[in-house]
Each structure stands twice: as structure tokens, then as C-alpha cells.
Amino acid sequence: EEMKVGLRSREIKMGVEHGMRGDGRVGEEDEEDTVAARVYRECSESVLKVEAICEAKRILGRGGGVGGLGLGGDREDGGNGAMMPTKVASGSAFMWDSEGHAVTSAHVVAHARELRATFAACGADDRLFYTATLVGADEHRDIAVLHLTPPAHLTASQRASLPPLPKPLPRRTSSQLRVGHRLFTLGHPFGFETTLTCGIVSGLRRELATSSRARPLFNVIQTDAAQNPGSSGGPVLDSKGRVAGMSCAIASPSGAFAGISFALPIDTIETAVSEILQLGRVRVPYVGLAFAPEALAHRLGIESGLLVLHARPGGPAAKVGVRGTMRVASRGAEPRLQMGDVLVKVDRMAVSKVDDLYRQLEGKVVGEMVTLRLSRDGKTYDVTIQLEDAPKVSNDGSNHHIKFAPRALLPHARL
């Protein structure tokens, strides 16, 4: 009898652990289900679908496809074809503050003529949407800030029927995330309505290099929560419904989700958004140097460090006398190649590739002082420079005055 009682006690204990009620039947919800349901209930209203629309084109189809748009190739036509606004991107966003600002991925809204944002309360009525204006973007970190307002063409009665903007989502610090912590993502993959996925923190401080940008993303969160095209810009939340990051990319050989996805940490986003709201842009610290590709430097006998090809006139490095590579004319002989300085260290950290320099600059701000160790004619010397705001940043986030060698890339896809 005692053995039977003991077995029954263990059965009850196991039943509780597996979500069974005291009567042996499976309970309606276990703790994990309850957390996921609460996160969706409390946060989904504040997640937006963003549609980016390019210039309208007059299209005449060839090949007899659906609606006259054939698969053989569409062309613009000056005749009587229909004007068709073309969607160039669709992604997700989330409410940032009560002033009508939302945050999304910069690549979602790049090159858009018109931006529209909707959320759950807008329903299926195509007339109910908010106009989104780009406040500014950090192309290096793939972050953009939008300002949402009712469309200008709405009448007073239509404006009254437009649902109010959702509340902003609470935020936490990402510095306290640990591998194994539970995460939830919300977004609009493939244009579907708000979708919840669950996972854990699989890794921290990842560096993400993609073929579409020169500068890697640093301190990225890795998770196994499912993300797909359209998820970019959606919030990554902890079990209390606080934003811990923003969906940005997946690692996949095919472009479809393969179990590894990435999110920008909220601490990085906070810094960028704060500067965008103050200045309309993000100031990017730079040193004003262009470097030789690694293969070329090796052919010239440079085994370690970065060979300086060019120091931008008036830039931080040029002001302290850093020398670039140049051809020097000599009387009665062919011009000879004068090697430039070789950057060996930045603030006592060795650099062997340009990503090492980017990594050192990641935590710096414009106006901060950094020490460069350089080698010239076999001798090393140190100079201290003041970082300045990069004068121009390309659409892919690369600095025109920091060049680097092509590198092998893992197959990452932006969403």
C-alpha cells in the first residue's frame, strides 16, 4: 500500500510538471503558454506593418500574365497603361514614444517615395492607415525612426474614424541578457497580420557581416525565434513584454528561416534613436583614412596592420601627419612607390583588418580622442587624433573614406 501511495505521489508530481491538473487531466494552459499569450495580448497592438512605395510607373505587360503583367518582363510605357504604385519593401515597426515616433530597420524604408503604417486596430480597411515620415536613419546599424501622422487627404469625418496610435512598448536594457533567456518576436512576416514567435537567446555579441553593407553589425543578439521576410523592424521582447532588441536578419543558405536569426540590441537602438530625434541623423566618428586591400598589402610585403593608401586632406589623421602611399618622382628615373604608414594599433588594440578598426570605433563618439600606433620605414610612432563626424555615408552604410578588402561572407539575409 505504501508503494502504491508513493507511486501515486510521483505521478501527481509529474502531472503538475507536465501541465496536468490534480485529477490527472491536462490543464488548459501551462506557465509558458500563459506568458506567451500575455506578451501577445499586451504588446501586439503596438507593432506596425510598414509598406514602402516607390514612384508610380505606367506599366504595359508583355507575355499575357495575370492582369496583363507577363513573366517575360514588364516595361514602362508612355501610352494608356495603368499607373501602378510599386511596393519596394514591406516590414515591421514598433511604437517608440507617445509623440508618434516608431522604430524600424533602415533597409525597410530605404528609397521609398511614400511610407504607410497600419496596426491591428486599423483592421482590413485599406483607407485606414497612417502616413509615416522618415525622421532619420542610422545606415551603419540599420535603424530608422518614423513619425506617424494621419494622411493629409482625410476629411474630418474620416479622420475621426482613424484609430488612435497605439501605446509605446516598454524597454529594458540588453546588457543583462544571458544565453538561455526566453525571447518573443512580433512582426509581419510575408505581410501576414501580427505574428508571434518564441525562442531563446542562443548567443550574444555576434558580429554580422552581410554582402549589402561594408561595416559589420556589432553586439548582435542571436536567437532561434523564427523570422522571415517582413519580420525586420519588429520588436524582440522578454517574458515581461519589454523590448530587448529588434529583428534584423537571418543566417540562411536559401533565404528562408533555418533556425538562426539575429536582433539588434535595444541599447544600441536607444543610442541611435536618441541622436536621430535630436539631430535628425547619427554622427559617425571616423579617422579619415583609406586602406589598401589585404591582398595588395601582402604583395607589397605588409604582413600585419593596415597599409594607408590615402589620408583625407583636412581629416583627423592628415592633421597629425599620417602619410598615404604615393608615387614619388625622381630625376632621370621612373617614379617610385613610396609606401604609406601602416596602422598597427588603435588604443593599444592590434588591428590586422578593417573590421578591427570598425570594432574599436563602435563604442566611440565624435570628439573623442584615440591613439593610433603607426609604422613608417621600419619605425613605430604614436599619434593622438580627435574623431570627427564622417562627411558622407553611402546608402549601404559604408564610409567613403575607409576602404577595405573584400572578405568571405556567411549567407545572411536581411528580412
| Mean pLDDT, the chain, whole residue set | 81
Residue 201: closest CA among 189, 183, 186, 187: 183
CB 216 within 8 A of CB 207: yes
The helix (H) or strand (E) run that includes residue 298 is helix 294-299
pLDDT of residue 85: 54
Q: Does pLDDT of 21 surpass 80?
A: no
**Within 13 Å, how many C-alpha atoms sit on residue 374's CB side?**
23
Positive/negative CA dihedral, 153, 157, 163, 167: positive
When pLDDT is cut at 50, 70 and 90, the band that residue 333 belongs to is confident
Task: Measure the CA–CA gap between 94 and 98, rounded to whole angstroms.
Answer: 12
pLDDT of residue 174: 94
Residue 399: closest CA among 139, 59, 50: 139
Positive/negative CA dihedral, 290, 296, 302, 305: positive
CB 146 within 8 A of CB 108: no
Work out the average pLDDT over 380-397. Answer: 77
pLDDT of residue 78: 42
- Which pTM value belongs to this model? 0.76
When pLDDT is cut at 50, 70 and 90, the band that residue 41 belongs to is very high
Classify the phi-psi angles of 211: left when phi > 0, otherwise alpha if psi is within -120 to 50, otherwise beta: alpha
| Length reported for the chain | 415
- Report pLDDT digits (tens) over 113-133: 899 999 999 888 878 899 999
Q: Residue 283 corresponds to which amino acid?
A: R
When pLDDT is cut at 50, 70 and 90, the band that residue 392 belongs to is low
Task: Measure the CA–CA gap between 67 and 45, rounded to whole angstroms.
Answer: 35
- Report pLDDT digits (tens) over 130-177: 999 999 999 889 999 999 999 988 888 888 889 999 999 999 999 999
Parallel, antiparallel, or unpaired: how do β-strands 306-311 and 289-291 relate?
A: antiparallel
pLDDT of residue 18: 42
Task: Measure the CA–CA gap between 181 and 224, rounded to whole angstroms.
Answer: 11
pLDDT of residue 79: 44
End-to-end CA distance of the chain: 61
- Report pLDDT digits (tens) over 42-88: 999 999 999 998 765 544 443 332 222 222 333 334 445 555 556 56
pLDDT of residue 155: 83
Task: Measure the CA–CA gap between 239 and 220, rounded to whole angstroms.
Answer: 19
| Tally of CB atoms within 10 A around 62 | 14
pLDDT of residue 166: 96
Phi, psi of 292 (to 5 degrees): -75, 145
- Report pLDDT digits (tens) over 222-256: 999 999 989 999 999 999 999 999 999 888 777 77
- Report pLDDT digits (tens) over 352-363: 989 999 999 988
When pLDDT is cut at 50, 70 and 90, the band that residue 295 belongs to is confident
pLDDT of residue 276: 96
Residue 239: closest CA among 33, 30, 47, 48: 33
Q: Cite the active site residues.
A: 107, 142, 232
Angle at 174 between CA 171 and CA 177, to 5 degrees: 120
When pLDDT is cut at 50, 70 and 90, the band that residue 28 belongs to is low
Higher pLDDT, 17 or 182: 182
Q: Does pLDDT of 325 surpass 80?
A: yes
| Tally of CB atoms within 10 A around 156 | 6
Work out the average pLDDT over 260-280. Answer: 95
Residue 128, classed as helix, strand or coil, is: coil
Work out the average pLDDT over 8-26. Answer: 42
Residue 252: closest CA among 406, 36, 411, 86: 411
pLDDT of residue 407: 31
